[in-house]
């Protein structure tokens, strides 16, 4: 479980892709404080398992399924990625519950600079819009954000990126047209499923 509060941006040092999988190498600083082989780490919002660690660099395998449903397949050596370790018991919950299980890929459609901040819009898969609410939480490339505006007719949402987010995450440098990972709030998915079951008369009553 993660919170969507990015600890640092790592550097992709290796990306070897085969016909149906890939192996990625990432270098960082902070996340290695207690990262062990077999431990989980969120890379642009995707929960990966460290299979090797050496000199503040770790390697992870990416399955064909993950390559299909996330934007990790777009990465290249030299790219920056958002990194977060799992939340530890008793630590502060500053963001929201993030599983690291990506629901789909969003497209950055517009950036509008403000006074030190930016309003950024994304095109969202239509199938995910029912789980997104105004002023609700959403995870974009691993970053916990609040939905500032949504438009069901165009399947778009907007978020306001404060200076700290622009500086400390990859969202600050992404260009229009970039693909990013999106994870909707898991609480919304639970509610939607419960409602669907009741409407279908499968609640046993």
Fold agreement between 8-84 and 104-194? yes
Q: How far apart are CA 32 and CA 36, in angstroms?
A: 8
pTM above 0.95, yes or no: no
Q: Is 111 helix (H, G, I), strand (E, B) or coil?
A: strand
Work out the burial of residue 2: count CB atoms within 10 Å of its CB; fewer than 13 is exposed, 13-18 middle, 19 or more buried.
buried
Q: How far apart are CA 65 and CA 16, in angstroms?
A: 16
Query: pLDDT-derived band of residue 114, with 50, 70 and 90 as boundaries?
Result: confident
Where does 104-194 sit in CATH, by number? 2.40.30.20
The neighbour count for residue 55, using CB atoms within 10 Å, is 7
Query: pLDDT-derived band of residue 192, with 50, 70 and 90 as boundaries?
Result: confident
Average pLDDT over residues 179-186: 93
The neighbour count for residue 140, using CB atoms within 10 Å, is 27
Average pLDDT over residues 1-15: 94
pLDDT of residue 92: 60
Return the CATH class of domain 8-84: mainly beta
CA 32 to chain centre: 20
What are the structure tokens assigned to 123, written together? 């095109």
For the chain, domain boundaries: 8-84, 104-194
CA 10 to chain centre: 14
């Amino acid at each position: 479980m993660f919170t969507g509060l990015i600890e640092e941006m790592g550097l992709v040092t290796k990306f070897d892709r085969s016909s149906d999988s890939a192996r990625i190498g990432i270098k960082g600083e902070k996340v290695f404080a207690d990262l062990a082989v077999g431990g989980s780490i969120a890379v642009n919002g995707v929960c990966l398992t460290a299979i090797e660690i050496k000199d503040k660099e770790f390697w992870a395998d990416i399955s064909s399924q993950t390559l299909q449903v996330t934007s990790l397949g777009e990465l290249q050596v030299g790219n920056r990625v958002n990194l977060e370790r799992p939340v530890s018991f008793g630590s502060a919950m500053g963001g929201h519950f993030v599983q690291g299980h990506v629901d789909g890929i969003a497209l950055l459609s517009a950036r509008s600079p403000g006074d030190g901040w930016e309003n950024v819009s994304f095109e969202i898969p239509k199938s995910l819009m029912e789980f997104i609410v105004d002023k609700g939480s959403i995870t974009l490339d691993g970053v916990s954000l609040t939905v500032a505006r949504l438009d069901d007719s165009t399947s778009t949402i907007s978020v306001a990126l404060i200076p700290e987010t622009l500086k400390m995450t990859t969202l600050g440098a992404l260009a229009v047209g970039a693909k990013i990972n999106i994870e909707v709030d898991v609480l919304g998915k639970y509610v939607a499923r419960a409602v669907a079951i009741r409407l279908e008369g499968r609640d046993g009553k």
